[in-house]
Structures are given as C-alpha cells and as structure tokens.
Amino acid sequence: MSKFVTIVDYGIGNILSVRRALEHVGAEVALADDAAVIARADYLVLPGVGAFRDGMEGLVRQGAAEAVVAHATAGKPMLGICLGAQMLMSTGEEFGAHAGLDIIPGRVVQIPATGADGVPHKLPYVGWADIAEARPGSFAGTPLATFAAGSAVYLVHSFHIEPARDEDRIAVYEYNGATVTAAIRRDNVIGMQFHPEKSGPVGLHILRSFLGS
C-alpha cells in the first residue's frame, strides 16, 4: 500500500529531487505551502537548502511553522533534510542567532574550522562521507537501522547540529578528525543533515525505511 507523504514547500529547497526520490520508493507525494494542508499530512518531510535564517523566515511567511510543530507534537512521522533538519532545533547561529522550530532542543553551529591537527579545512563540506553510529546502538529503531557499515551519503553544509541531549544524536561522520553530526532523532521526528535523495541506492533505502516499507 502506498504511503501518503506531504513535502513542505516554503520557497527554499530541493523539492523536485526529494519528490522524485519518494515517488521512486512508492510514496504518493503532495506539496504543501499552507497550514491547512500540512495539518492533514500523514508523513511530513521538511526539506531545505540554504541559510537557517532564510529557511525560518520562509516557514513563518508561509504560515507553516506552527503547523509543522503541531505535526511533530501529534506523534506523526516527520523527516527533516539538510536545512530542514537544522530548523528542527531551538536556535541557529548562521548569520546571527535565530529561533528555530524547537522540536528537538539544541542549536546549529558552524562545523569546526580545523581538523584534529589544527589545520584549517575547506567549508562548506561538499561530498560523500561514511556515517557511523553516534554511540553503540544509536541506529536501532530508526530509518538507519539496516544501514550498511561503510556506506556513504552525500552532504553539502557549513553548519551542523548540536542537540542538547546526546541521545538525540544518532549519526556522525569524521572530517579530518572533527566529529560532525549527520543525523538526529527524537521519538517520531528524525533529521538528516545529509541528502538521502542524492545518496543513490543507500539514500533510497533510508527513505523506504522512513516510510516503513
């Protein structure tokens, strides 16, 4: 049976590629740019590419922010991708301090500017990375539960998530010895800093797992 997925359209994001990926794994997909449509969603996806400030301004301008929070609070499945994952947090520090959706307490900060050796490295991080459990067993019960060790996902970002609770961080990757958050999860809400829709078969498998199929 097809799963019905609603993608939040707030004027910023990689909506077309996300939609195609979800349809590829068997979902029926609708776009929503107002609170009433979001309120009827079964599965909700919050995508996004760009700056935290601009993303939040887009959600507020569309009148969608409260509906997204209500969906999460109702216990329905929700996935944030890239900027969409960052906006799940309480605050973001890109271009100054800005309030987020506060669905998962924490903040969005710049990736460490240097590696473990103190040598500056390139930001934004652009490319593929092998992700790993943030702690033993952190993938259990999440869409990453059957993620194959050594598999890589695609990322483009300069900022990453620091959840207030360590247990909300489920996946990380290493950038020259600096640990960077790759995914977070609390209850029914999961955020992926990486782009599953751009991560080939691995990403499609993760999306299937999110849909429980």
Cα Rg of the chain, angstroms: 16
| Beta strand 152-157 pairing with 132-133 | unpaired
CA–CA gap between residue 154 and residue 8 (Å, rounded):
21
Largest CA-CA distance found in the chain, in angstroms, rounded: 52
Q: Which amino acid is at 12?
A: I
Assign residue 75 a region (left: φ > 0; alpha: ψ between -120 and 50; beta: otherwise).
left
Q: Compute φ and ψ for 80, nearest 5 degrees.
A: -105, 135
CA–CA gap between residue 25 and residue 2 (Å, rounded):
9
Let me know: does 203 contact 196? Beta carbons within 8 Å.
yes
Length of the chain: 213
CA–CA gap between residue 207 and residue 213 (Å, rounded):
9
The DSSP element (H or E) to which 52 belongs, if any, is helix 52-62
**Which residues participate in catalysis according to the annotation?**
82, 195, 197
CA distances from 66 to 37, 98, 103, 114, 116 (A): 12, 16, 11, 37, 40
